[in-house]
Every structure is written in structure tokens, then in C-alpha cells.
């Protein structure tokens, strides 16, 4: 079993150009293009190369939570360290001569990968949380300066990330905006369910002559994780006259297909440290040029204020910007995998589905969504007898798995719906697959849960902390 | 050594009869090791801009970074919060704050300014302040702070008063008198001054401001709140927030307190500031108080916030700890400043007692430094052709005022030299000789080109 997961990594492709493709869309074929740095392209990573690249991970831990904090290979960490040393060696010289060109280089690479039109549309920021604050702050000014009327609405998904919900509270609710949450079913069985709920929420948003000023749509929700049909939802937003659409794709790049022109949103933010092998932390915020976004500002104001968001974000006071600058090295890294980032995404998806199905079979449960609605993460139902009956239980069980079994996996509590009988699944684990994972990680998890079930463990028996 | 080694705390004579255990204090060669990552040939006399960080603190930082990379979830749930609290406690003690709740760690003073000014902006937007209520700042306030005022105050309808400080400055009295004038102006036409932003140590030109006295005046004149921007303070002057008496006080730890880039503390007086202060990057911690909000602004590398204990260990290897370092830095920078002024036939921008670990030294008028552009050109030229790193200030001659002269003309340019523990006499001699060479060769700023 173990070898089948890695067989693709050991194939040495005789013809570099055959590595292109794996995806029909023209816009993405650039991703697998090898950088023209070598006479012969560097060889594909072997399984032992990969183990070595992630040798700084705790070997005793089954690390199946790539979604929360991502990962970064040694090759990239070394490059980051070099950049840090360059700064420390002579910071003034780095500031005046190196920093800006290197940030532009990173932005240009990202622009190509995401199929944006202009590098001006690409700003680099710390993380999706920061990007959300940037987008929402201009909404707040819209209310404060009378461009929007009190009661105008913002729409977001019920499963929006906690930080984004708070940001909406801080920058929209506080200044008189009306917030609508789109309830989404979970478990979910088709995209139609999501589209239906979204349409209904937009209609509610427009009641009483309200204008919907912003829709915040996750590309891949966090907890519970599901891939949202963003392109379709953006189209609906345009049809229904929503002012601006912001796609929160924290899990986007390296995890799902990220094509700005195809998706068509006004704003799109994605972390690069989750699924794109960057060190903590770095993200991009794409702002479509045609949108009126001259009013976008980084909340930390420096002397670059007014020079455009991309420039403002490239200097927010003295900081360690090294994580922003390693994107070229990351490209080198991913191009040593067959199929580049497309190949990685495809295999991650296939393996996480395979592992998810293995687990639900072993536990007699079910996946939270059909395979085509998940990316490189999937929700796996936990046996009902574990008695997960609150968010607190979910957190406690997670800590218990970490401390007692060496398994790192986030757990989601799904409250039973009215009319559901006892014995229903109320807990789901969000498993992930990234290039460093091996089948043993999931066996470890499978066996840990089986052991708990066999010993009649329930969350109620956990010590109160 | 060709000069008194300042690190032994003796300024008057070199004595071999020092009654101490040989390994008690950090040695010269230890210090060279600690800063061996600095470019060996560059005369690094601009500690003010980007600071410095010794090898042992960088190693501590690396240790924290590796912990996160090894098992980030365990780090997040079990180590991060406690590590930040430990740093905050140390800082609370260092600055004489009452409660650790009053101490938040943020990236830098620029971020702290955004936090304080965003609140002011909200107060205007929510009608708590009247249109044209005022914010007062120094004319030479840091550019980022000025822009932040534009972004959050002017935009929301507030107006701004700038206090013009004289430069060169001869005494604190001059500063106090300018402040009083500006306060009167700010209060004219029934306006209220909602916030005064006062630098503890101005950036360019650099002068130590009598903050305690200025805060007292602000209170006496009914200014609602005072924010001291002390980006350069901790590790270069004494920082006692109760003594200073401001509502907000921010200082960078990566400039003079040996932290890696970047980390600063923002002190908010518990009894005079509201709980409505928020970090602009909103996370799930929103509403839990600024220190908690600032301790989690999304996935980040927080290692620079965690090394404060390692820094304390480092400074305590020096005789007199941070106080000893501050005193020696000050004595040396004044000494070097005077050496340069004498060699160039120019002046110091402020009296020694109004400087800390940085001082402004006049450049020979023959260099004809007549614009910001000239200043930048000269700075680049010194970097590229002489391996000297020093920031340069263009002094705009005031209308109708007699400027300071040297034997050839008006002095319109100043270098801001700094002294930190890694500096040697040779650094300043390099600068001295470079400038003398340029003057000898008849060079003016206009003639310089970047190589």
C-alpha cells in the first residue's frame, strides 16, 4: 500500500515537456513549465528526498492537519534563512536595493500562476486574515462616509472562518451594516444544495430595498471543509447586483484550481504557507483592476500610503519580509514533482479520498461530502459512540489524540438536527494529505479511534480542563 | 585597542588591575562573535534605522521557529500564548508599568500608531469627536505616523497641528515654547485637541525630547490623550511609563533592545484608555483585549516576540546591564560626534544632554547638500564607495533665519551617527576620512553618482 502512494514520485520522466498538462485549461499550463535555470532540468524528488525535505517534522506525529498551519520544505527554509542573513548583514543595503525587486519577483510569479492580468493586481500580505481586514476596512469607510446606507448588507457563509466573521463584525456590523449568513447543509451531497441556499440568502439580503455591498465566499471552507462552487456563486452575485465579491481562499493555491479570470471575483485571497510550501507566513490578495479599488489600503499605514495597495503592503514598517521573498524557490521545489503543482494537487486529492474511504469503512461512518466536493482535505465521520456532543468535546478529543496517540487532526462538532435519532454522527475529523504524508499516518489514526471505541471511551469521560 | 574600551565601564583610564573575575562580563571578542554576521567591512553607524541582533538571540529565535515547524498545532495550543506572556511580563517590569494587561506586543511602532489612530478615526466617524477637533504632532514626526494621521484622522474630518521644532536645538526650553504656541493654535476657534503625539526621540533630525515635561503641559492644557512615539527609546534612554505619564507609549525592541526584526511594545494606561482599542488585523480573539488580539493576528512567525528572555540574558552579560550599555553608548556617540565635528569644522545638532545613542553632526557646507535628493545621493555614495552606512538629513534653511555656518557657508546637511555595542573607533574614522576626502577632492553632492 505504501509504495502505491509514492510510485509517482519515483518515476523519472524522460521527456520534460511531457510533464506539462494534466489539466485542460490553457491558463494553467504555465504552472508546470520548468524554470529555464538548468541545461537539464533537476531530477524529480525520490521518496527519500521528500523525507529529507521534511525531516524537521516531528517523526512521532501522524501529521494529518496540513490545513491549519501548512508546511515548508528544508530547501525553502534554507533559502529563507539566506535572505534573513542578508538583511542582518547589511539591512540598509537590503532595504534600498533588494527588498522591492524581490517582492516584485514574487508577485510576478504569483500573477502568472493565478492567471491575473497585471502584477498591480497582486499584493502580498501576511495571511488571509490580513487580506480580509483590508477588504472589509474599505466597506467600513463606505458606511462611515455615507456611500452606503445604514442597513445595507454583507453576505457571508455560516461556515466562514472565525477571524473573518469577527472582521465582519468589527468593520461592517459596527458601522451599521446588516450581515446575512448563508446556512449550508452538512453533510452535503451536491453543489446544488449550496447554490440554492446562497440564492435564498441573497434574496433576503435585498429585502426592503437593501443593497448587498459585499459577498464573502469561501473557496474551500475551513470547518467543516467543503469545496464551494465559487465560479457559479460569483455569477449569481453579478446577476443579483451585488457590489463586490470577495473570495476567501485561504486554502486556495496549491489545493484547488486558482484562476482569477475564470472565477471572476473582485477580490481573492489565498495563503501561500498552507498548500504552497512557503514558510509562515505569506498570502496574496488579488484585486481586479476594473473594480473601483483605489480605496484599498493596508491598515498598517507607512510612508507608502497612497501608492497603491501592492506598494503599501510591501512596506509596513521594519519587519522580517523573508517569507514574502522565497516564492521563486518554492517554484523550484514544486517543479521537482511530476506534474508540478497540478500533479501535487491531483495526487493529494486522490490520496486523501482514498484514505478517507479507508477510514469510513473501518469505522462504519461516512464522508462529509462527495469526493468531487473535496480538495486535499476531507471530513471523515467519527463513530457516534465516542459521544462528541459539543465544540469543547471536539477540542478535548483532539488534544487527547495528540497527547496520547501522537495524531494531529482537527475535529469538528456537528450538532444533531431536529428529528435526528440517537446514534447519529456528530463528530468529523478533517484529514489532509500533503506530499510528506504516508499511509501509516492514517493507519495510526484509524487504530487510535478503533482502540477508543473498543475501550468504550466517550468524550464525557475526558477530564474537565 | 587605540581608545578606552567602553565595554569595561571605565572611561577615564585603561587599567589592568580591574578587580573582577575574568569571565564575569562579556569580552570584546565575545561581542565580535555575537555580531559576526554583520558585514565586516561596513562602518555600520546607523543602528537607529533597523537595529541589530546578537548571534545568541538569533539562535534562541531559531529554536522557537523550529519548534513551530516541528509540530505547529502543539506549539499553537501549548507554547505560544505562554511564551508571549513571559515576554510581556519582562517588558512590564522594564518599563515600570502597573499591569501586564497594559503591555501588548505588536510588529513595530508603525503598527502601534495605526492602532491608536484607528480609534481616533472611529471616534470622529461615530460622532464622539466634532469635525475639526485636532490632533497635534511634531513637524518632524516619523513619516509613517504622519501618513497614519492622514489615513485615520484627516480622512475622518479631524484637523492636524504641527509643532515646528527648531533645529539645531540648543535647549529644552526652545521645544517647550514651540509646543505651547502650537497648543494655543490648536485650541483656537473652540476646537478641542483630542490627541497629542510626541516623539520621545525624534528620528530625523534626532533629538531627545523632554517628554515628561511635554506630557505635563499637555495635561495642563486639557489635551485629552497623549501618545508618546518612542520608537528609539527602549535600550537607548530610560523608559518609565509612569514617570512619563502618557496614555500610550510605544517603543521598538528591535532597534536598541537587541531583538530580531521585528517586535515592539505598546503600553496603554489601564485607567485612562478605553477597552475599545483593537488590532486592525481582526482574528477570532477580537474583543478579548488588545494584548490578546495582538498575540494572534492569524498564522505568523511570532518568534521575534518570544526571544525577550534571551535578550535579557544577553544584556545582563554587560557590566551594568542595559543601563551600562546605554551610558556607554551615549558617552561614545557624543565623543565620536565631537571628534567628527572638530575634524570637519562643523557642529553638533543638539547639546549632548539632548542626545541618547545617536547624535546629529553637521556636514561641511562645501558639500553643497541642498535637497533631500542630495542627502540620499550622498548616503548611497558613502555606502557604495566608502562602505560607510549612515543616514543623512537635509536641513532646510528657515526664511529670515540665520543658519549655522562653518568657515565656508551655511551648514545644510547632518549625519545621524549612532553607537551600539558592536561599534569601534575605526567606524567613525572611516566616516571622518570619507567626508574629508570628498571635500578635499572638491566634490559636491550634485557631482556624486551611484556606482
Give me the helices (H) in A225-292, please. Answer: 230-239, 260-263
Answer whether residue A293 shows pLDDT above 80.
no
Q: Say whether residue A297 is in contact with chain B using an 8 A CB cutoff.
A: yes
Compare all CA atoms of chain B with the CA of A160 and give the residue at the minimum distance: B284
Average pLDDT rounded to a whole number, residues A227-245: 96
Provide the 10 A C-beta neighbour count for residue A342: 22
Burial A84-94 (b: 16+ CB within 10 A, else e): bebbbebbbbb
Question: Rounded to a whole number, what is the distance in angstroms from the first to the last CA of chain A?
Answer: 39
For chain B, what's the residue count? Answer: 451
Fold assignment, B321-447: 3.90.1150
pLDDT in tens, A435-450: 999 999 999 999 999 9
Which one of B66, B122, B281, B304 makes the best mutation probe of the A interface by having the most chain A beta carbons within 10 Å? B281
Q: Which chain A residue lies closest to B54 (C-alpha atoms)?
A: A88
Predicted pLDDT at A208: 83
Interface residue A216 vs chain B (CB under 8 A):
no
**Local confidence band at B23 (pLDDT 50, 70, 90 cut-offs):** low
Q: Tens digits of per-residue pLDDT, B173-203?
A: 999 999 999 999 888 888 899 999 999 999 9
Where residue B400 falls among pLDDT bands split at 50, 70, 90? low
Q: Which CATH architecture has domain A340-461?
A: Alpha-Beta Complex (3.90)
In chain A, whose CA is at the least distance from the CA of B46? A92
The pLDDT, as a whole number, for residue B450 is 54
A281 and B CB contact within 8 Å: yes
Q: Which of B58, B77, B281 sits opposite A133 (nearest CB)?
A: B281
Mutation site, A148, A302, A322, interface B, largest B CB count within 10 A = A302
- Which residues from B are below 8 Å from A88, CB to CB? 37-38, 53, 58, 260
Half-sphere exposure of A201 (CA within 13 A, CB side): 27
What pLDDT does residue B375 have?
A: 97
List the CATH code of the domain at B78-312.
3.40.640.10
Find chain A residues with C-beta within 8 A of B150's C-beta.
Answer: 301, 305
Confidence of residue B18 (pLDDT cuts 50, 70, 90): very low
Respond yes or no on whether ipTM tops 0.90. Answer: yes
Residues 6 or more apart whose CB falls under 8 angstroms from that of B198 comprise B137, B138, B209, B211, B214, B215, B218, B226, B227, B228, B229, B246
CA angle A227, A229, A233 (to 5 degrees): 140
* Coil, helix or strand at residue B151: helix
**Nearest C-alpha of chain A: how many angstroms from B65?**
10
Flag whether residue A127 sits within 8 Å of chain B, measured between CB atoms. yes
Lowest mean pLDDT among A201-205, A292-296, B272-276, B423-427: A292-296
Q: What is the pLDDT of residues A168-226, one digit of tens each?
A: 999 999 999 999 999 999 999 999 999 999 999 999 888 888 899 999 999 999 999 99
Average of pLDDT values for B429-445?
A: 97
Q: How sure is the predictor about A10, in pLDDT bands with cuts at 50, 70 and 90? A: very low
CA–CA distance, B118 with B152 (Å, rounded to integer): 6
- Which residues on A lie below 8 Å from B301 (Cβ)? 279-281, 320, 323
Q: Work out whether strand A244-248 and strand A267-271 pair parallel, antiparallel, or are unpaired.
A: parallel
Interface test with B, best of A87, A282, A300, A398 (most B CBs within 10 A): A300
Query: What single string gives the DSSP state of each residue in A296-337?
Result: ---SS--TTTTS-HHHHHT-SSS---HHHH-HHHHHHHHTTS
What is d(CA B24, CA A181) in angstroms, rounded to the nearest whole number?
Answer: 64
Nearest to A298 by CA among A79, A134, A462: A134
User: Which one, of A441, A433, A430, A446, lies nearest residue A226 by Cα?
Assistant: A430
Q: What is the pLDDT of residue B132?
A: 85
Specify whether the backbone of A209 is left (phi greater than 0), alpha (psi in -120 to 50) or beta: left
Tens digits of residue pLDDT in B303-354: 999 999 999 999 999 999 999 999 999 999 999 999 999 999 999 999 999 9
User: What CA–CA distance (Å, rounded) separates A230 from A211?
Assistant: 21
Tell me the HSE value of B22 on the side-chain side, using a 13 A CA sphere. Answer: 2
- Yes or no, beta carbons of A317 and B125 under 8 Å apart: no
Q: Mean pLDDT, to the nearest integer, of A364-393?
A: 97
Whether the per-residue pLDDT at B5 is higher than 50: the answer is no
Domain with CATH 3.40.640.10 in chain B: 78-312
B242: number of Cβ within 10 Å: 12
Query: Top-level CATH class of A94-333?
Result: alpha beta
Contact A62, A442 (CB under 8 A): yes
d(CA B205, CA B48): 12
Query: Which are the contacts of A408, defined by CB distance < 8 A and separation ≥ 6?
Result: A61, A62, A63, A64, A65, A401, A402, B71, B73, B74
- The pLDDT of residue B8 is 44
Any A CB within 8 A of B347 CB: no
Residue A409: φ, ψ to 5°: -150, 135
How much is the pLDDT for B191?
A: 86
Residue B15 has a pLDDT of 43
CA-to-CA distance for A382 and A407, rounded, in angstroms?
15
Question: Taking CA atoms, what residue in B is nearest to A144?
Answer: B125
Average pLDDT, chain B: 93
Q: Do B278 and A167 touch (CB under 8 A)?
A: no
Q: Band the pLDDT of A294: cuts 50, 70, 90.
A: confident
Question: Which of A129, A137, A169 has its CB closest to that of B298?
Answer: A129
How many Å lie between the alpha carbon of B105 and the closest alpha carbon of chain A?
14
| String of DSSP letters for A131-189 | HHHHHHHHHHHHHHTTSS-TT-EEEEETT--HHHHHHHHHHTGGGT-EEEEE---SS--
pLDDT of residue B20: 46
Contact at CB, B261 and A87, closer than 8 angstroms: yes
Residue B343, pLDDT score: 98
CB contact under 8 A, B147 and A303: yes
Question: What predicted TM-score, i.e. pTM, was given to this entire model?
Answer: 0.92
Does the structure show a pLDDT above 90 at B150?
yes
CB A98 within 8 A of CB A314: no
Q: Which residue, among A63, A70, A88, would best test binding to B if mutated, counting the most B CBs under 10 Å from its CB?
A: A88
Say yes or no to pLDDT of B11 above 60.
no
SS3 assignment, position A413: strand
| Mean pLDDT along residues A296-321 | 97
**Would strands B413-418 and B358-362 be described as parallel, antiparallel, or unpaired?**
antiparallel
Percent of chain B with pLDDT over 70: 94
What whole-number distance in Å separates Cα of residue B441 and Cα of residue B439? 5
Q: Calculate mean pLDDT across residues B207-213.
A: 97
Burial readout A197-220 (b: 16 or more C-beta within 10 A, e: otherwise) = bbeebbebbbeeebebbbbbbbbb
- Pick from A205, A274, A212: which is nearest to A238 by CA? A212
Strand order in the sheet with A178-182: A122-125, A283-287, A267-271, A244-248, A212-218, A153-157, A178-182
Is the CB of B282 less than 8 angstroms away from the CB of A133? yes
Most A-contacting residue of B109, B115, B125, B280 (CB-CB within 10 A), to test interface: B280
Instruction: Supply the pLDDT for residue B77.
Output: 97
B205 upstream amide cis, omega within 30 of 0: yes
Q: A301 vs B66: CB contact, 8 Å cut-off?
A: no
What is residue B51's DSSP assignment? Answer: -
Q: Which of A77, A96, A126 has its CB closest to that of B300?
A: A126
**A340-461 matches A94-333 in CATH topology:** no
pLDDT: is A343 or A11 the higher one?
Answer: A343
Quick check: helix, strand or coil at residue B381? Answer: helix
- Whether the per-residue pLDDT at A66 is higher than 90: the answer is yes
What are the Cα distances from residue A284, in Å, to A111, A121, A262, B314? 9, 10, 17, 37
- Mention every residue, 6+ apart, whose C-beta is less than 8 A from residue B190: none
> Is the pLDDT reported for residue A85 higher than 70?
yes
Say how far residue A30 (Cα) sits from the centre of its chain. Answer: 21
Residue of A nearest to B277 (CA): A170
Cα distance from B432 to chain A (closest Cα, Å)?
20
Q: What is the mean pLDDT of residues B281-301?
A: 97
Residues B75, B84: contact at Cβ < 8 Å?
A: no
Please state the rounded mean pLDDT for residues B117-126.
95
Alpha helix stretches (DSSP H) within B162-210: 172-187
Exposure letters A125-155 (e unless 16+ CB within 10 A, then b): bbbbbbbbbbbbbbbbbbbbeeebeeebbbb
Residue A272 is predicted with a pLDDT of: 98
Q: State the average pLDDT over residues B252-259.
A: 98
Domain map of chain A by residue range?
94-333, 340-461
Of A363-372, B240-249, B378-387, B442-451, give the lowest mean pLDDT range.
B442-451
Whether A126 and chain B come into contact, CB under 8 Å, resolves to yes
pLDDT of residue A112: 97
Contact A118, A147 (CB under 8 A): no
Amino acid at each position: 500500500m505504501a509504495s502505491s502512494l509514492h510510485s509517482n514520485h519515483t518515476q523519472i520522466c524522460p521527456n520534460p515537456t511531457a510533464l506539462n498538462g494534466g489539466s485542460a485549461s490553457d491558463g494553467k499550463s504555465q504552472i508546470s513549465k520548468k524554470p529555464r535555470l538548468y541545461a537539464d532540468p533537476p531530477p524529480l524528488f525520490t521518496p527519500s528526498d521528500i523525507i529529507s525535505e521534511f525531516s524537521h517534522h516531528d517523526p512521532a506525529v501522524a501529521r494529518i492537519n496540513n490545513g491549519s498551519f501548512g508546511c515548508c520544505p528544508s530547501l525553502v527554509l534554507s533559502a529563507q534563512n539566506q535572505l534573513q542573513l542578508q538583511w542582518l548583514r547589511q539591512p540598509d543595503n537590503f532595504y534600498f536595493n533588494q527588498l522591492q525587486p524581490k517582492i516584485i519577483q514574487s508577485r510576478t510569479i504569483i500573477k502568472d500562476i493565478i492567471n491575473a492580468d497585471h502584477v498591480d493586481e497582486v499584493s502580498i500580505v501576511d495571511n488571509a486574515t490580513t487580506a480580509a481586514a483590508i477588504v472589509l476596512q474599505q466597506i467600513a469607510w463606505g458606511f462611515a462616509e455615507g456611500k452606503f446606507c445604514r442597513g445595507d448588507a454583507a453576505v457571508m457563509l455560516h461556515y466562514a472562518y472565525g477571524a473573518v466573521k469577527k472582521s465582519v463584525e468589527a468593520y461592517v456590523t459596527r458601522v451599521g451594516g446588516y450581515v446575512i449568513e448563508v446556512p449550508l447543509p452538512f453533510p452535503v451531497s451536491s453543489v446544488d444544495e449550496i447554490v440554492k441556499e446562497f440564492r435564498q440568502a441573497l434574496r433576503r439580503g435585498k429585502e426592503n430595498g437593501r443593497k448587498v455591498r459585499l459577498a464573502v465566499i469561501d473557496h474551500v471552507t475551513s470547518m467543516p471543509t467543503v469545496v464551494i462552487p465559487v465560479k457559479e456563486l460569483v455569477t449569481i452575485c453579478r446577476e443579483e447586483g451585488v457590489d463586490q465579491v470577495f473570495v476567501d481562499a485561504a486554502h486556495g493555491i496549491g489545493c484547488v484550481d486558482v484562476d482569477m479570470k475564470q472565477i471572476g471575483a473582485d477580490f481573492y485571497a489565498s495563503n501561500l504557507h498552507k498548500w504552497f510550501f512557503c514558510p509562515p507566513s505569506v498570502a496574496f490578495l488579488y484585486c481586479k483592476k476594473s473594480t473601483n479599488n483605489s480605496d484599498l489600503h493596508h491598515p498598517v499605514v507607512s510612508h507608502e500610503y497612497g501608492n497603491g495597495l501592492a506598494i503599501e503592503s510591501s512596506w509596513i514598517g521594519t519587519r522580517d519580509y523573508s517569507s514574502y521573498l522565497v516564492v521563486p524557490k518554492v517554484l523550484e521545489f514544486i517543479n521537482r514533482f511530476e506534474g508540478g503543482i497540478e500533479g501535487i494537487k491531483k495526487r493529494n486529492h486522490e490520496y486523501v479520498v482514498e484514505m478517507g474511504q479507508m477510514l469510513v469503512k473501518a469505522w462504519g461512518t461516512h464522508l462529509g461530502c462527495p469526493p468531487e466536493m473535496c480538495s486535499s482535505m476531507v471530513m471523515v465521520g467519527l463513530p457516534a459512540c465516542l459521544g462528541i456532543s459539543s465544540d469543547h468535546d471536539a477540542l478535548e478529543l483532539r488534544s487527547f489524540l495528540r497527547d496520547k496517540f501522537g495524531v494531529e487532526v482537527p475535529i469538528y462538532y456537528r450538532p444533531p438536527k431536529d428529528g435526528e435519532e440517537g446514534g447519529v454522527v456528530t463528530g468529523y475529523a478533517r484529514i489532509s494529505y500533503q506530499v510528506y504524508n504516508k499511509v501509516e499516518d492514517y493507519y495510526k489514526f484509524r487504530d487510535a479511534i478503533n482502540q477508543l471505541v473498543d475501550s468504550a471511551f466517550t468524550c464525557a469521560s475526558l477530564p474537565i480542563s | 585597542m587605540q581608545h578606552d574600551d567602553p565595554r569595561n565601564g571605565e572611561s577615564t583610564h585603561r587599567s589592568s588591575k580591574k578587580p573582577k573575575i575574568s569571565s564575569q562580563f562579556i569580552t570584546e571578542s565575545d561581542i565580535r562573535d555575537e555580531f559576526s554576521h554583520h558585514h565586516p567591512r561596513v562602518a555600520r553607524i546607523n543602528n537607529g534605522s533597523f537595529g541589530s541582533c546578537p548571534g545568541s538571540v538569533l539562535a534562541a529565535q531559531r529554536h522557537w521557529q523550529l519548534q513551530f515547524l516541528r509540530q505547529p498545532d502543539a506549539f499553537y495550543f501549548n507554547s505560544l500564548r505562554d511564551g508571549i506572556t513571559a515576554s510581556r511580563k519582562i517588558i512590564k517590569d522594564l518599563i515600570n508599568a502597573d499591569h501586564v494587561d497594559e503591555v501588548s506586543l505588536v510588529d513595530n511602532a508603525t503598527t502601534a500608531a495605526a492602532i491608536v489612530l484607528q480609534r481616533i478615526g472611529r471616534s470622529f466617524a461615530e460622532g464622539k469627536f466634532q469635525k475639526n477637533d485636532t490632533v497635534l504632532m511634531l513637524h518632524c514626526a516619523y513619516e509613517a505616523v504622519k501618513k497614519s494621521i492622514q489615513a485615520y484622522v484627516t480622512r475622518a474630518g479631524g484637523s492636524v497641528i504641527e509643532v515646528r521644532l527648531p533645529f539645531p536645538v540648543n535647549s529644552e526650553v526652545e521645544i517647550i515654547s514651540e509646543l505651547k504656541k502650537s497648543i494655543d493654535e490648536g485650541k483656537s476657534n473652540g476646537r478641542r485637541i483630542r490627541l497629542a503625539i510626541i516623539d520621545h526621540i525624534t528620528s530625523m533630525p534626532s533629538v531627545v525630547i523632554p517628554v515628561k515635561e511635554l506630557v505635563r503641559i499637555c495635561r495642563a492644557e486639557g489635551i485629552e490623550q497623549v501618545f508618546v512615539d518612542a520608537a528609539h527609546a527602549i535600550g537607548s534612554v530610560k523608559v518609565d511609563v509612569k514617570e512619563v505619564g502618557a496614555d500610550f507609549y510605544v517603543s521598538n525592541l528591535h532597534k536598541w533592545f537587541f531583538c530580531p526584526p521585528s517586535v515592539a511594545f505598546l503600553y496603554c494606561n489601564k485607567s485612562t484608555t478605553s477597552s475599545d482599542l483593537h488590532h486592525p488585523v481582526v482574528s477570532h480573539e477580537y474583543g478579548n483585549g488588545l494584548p490578546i488580539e495582538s498575540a494572534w493576528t492569524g498564522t505568523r512567525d511570532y518568534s521575534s516576540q518570544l526571544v525577550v528572555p534571551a535578550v535579557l540574558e544577553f544584556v545582563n552579560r554587560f557590566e551594568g546591564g542595559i543601563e551600562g550599555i546605554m551610558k556607554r553608548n551615549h558617552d561614545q556617540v557624543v565623543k565620536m560626534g565631537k571628534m567628527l565635528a572638530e575634524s570637519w569644522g562643523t557642529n553638533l545638532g543638539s547639546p549632548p544632554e539632548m542626545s541618547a545613542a545617536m547624535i546629529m553632526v553637521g556636514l561641511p557646507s562645501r558639500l553643497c547638500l541642498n535637497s533631500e535628493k542630495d542627502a540620499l545621493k550622498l548616503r548611497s555614495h558613502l555606502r557604495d564607495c566608502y562602505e560607510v552606512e549612515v543616514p543623512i538629513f537635509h536641513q532646510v534653511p528657515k526664511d529670515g533665519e540665520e543658519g549655522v555656518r562653518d568657515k565656508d557657508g551655511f551648514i545644510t546637511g547632518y549625519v545621524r551617527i549612532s553607537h551600539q555595542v558592536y561599534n569601534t573607533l575605526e567606524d567613525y574614522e572611516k566616516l571622518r576620512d570619507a567626508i574629508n576626502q570628498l571635500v578635499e577632492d572638491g566634490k559636491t553632492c550634485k557631482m556624486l553618482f551611484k556606482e
